[in-house]
Amino acid sequence: MSRWPTTFCLAFLAVANLLLAGAAASAADDEVRQQRNERRFSGWNGIAFYCDLNPDAETSKRLCEWAGQRMRLAASSASIPFIIAPDDSEQRYLAMAKARRRDALQVELKIFTTKGAGAFGAYVRLAAKSFYISAKEGDDIGPAPEHVGRPAELFFWTKEMIGAAYNRSPDLDADLRGNLETQILALISDFAEGRAVRSIGAAPANQR
């Protein structure tokens, strides 16, 4: 009766152990990500998207409009309520209330562009955030600065990118849109995962 060589058996066991360790690490990473997304995104009843453009140039407006429509499609696919809101904060809150999305998480697309001597540069940031009247560190009460509630704008998710080219190359526009689409899909994926389980300790926007 033939037997497997001892060296082969040992190698097989080593590979099996590596695969099991990798699977366990992957499962642990998934659990950490899910818990993080629950803390960030449970409790919000949708997304209110707006743009902050500086300067308010036509090319930036087109990128803003494209991003808004792309995010609307992605949100719809994930069954996430979505509105496009004004960049003015007062008008934005009124629009959110009118759409019954007062508890929506605000997603800001900031686009800053500059040009000179034939060169063009762009800074783009996609951020999920909300304003709190009394934000503080944890549930502790005391005289320490981190325990005193203060007005604050809290960021739950951010991604940034920078692009540059000569004479506003069409390739730069394509690169900006391609990278921005990746960011949009990542945010919607994290938001959808976080909303799947509403954590008991979640702090929705109506507690601002």
Q: Residue ranges of the chain with pLDDT lower than 50?
A: 199-208
Range list of H helices, the chain: 6-41, 58-77, 89-98, 170-196
pLDDT at 127: 98
Domain boundaries, given as residue ranges, for the chain: 6-207
pLDDT in tens, 23-51: 555 666 788 888 999 999 999 999 999 99
pLDDT at 10: 58
Grouping H, G, I as helix, E, B as strand and the rest as coil, residue 112 is: strand
pTM of the model: 0.77
pLDDT at 149: 76
pLDDT at 134: 76
Residues 6 or more apart in contact with residue 193 via CB below 8 angstroms: 33, 34, 37, 38, 41
pLDDT in tens, 61-91: 999 999 999 999 999 999 999 999 999 999 9
Residues 6 or more apart in contact with residue 63 via CB below 8 angstroms: 111, 124, 173, 176, 177, 180
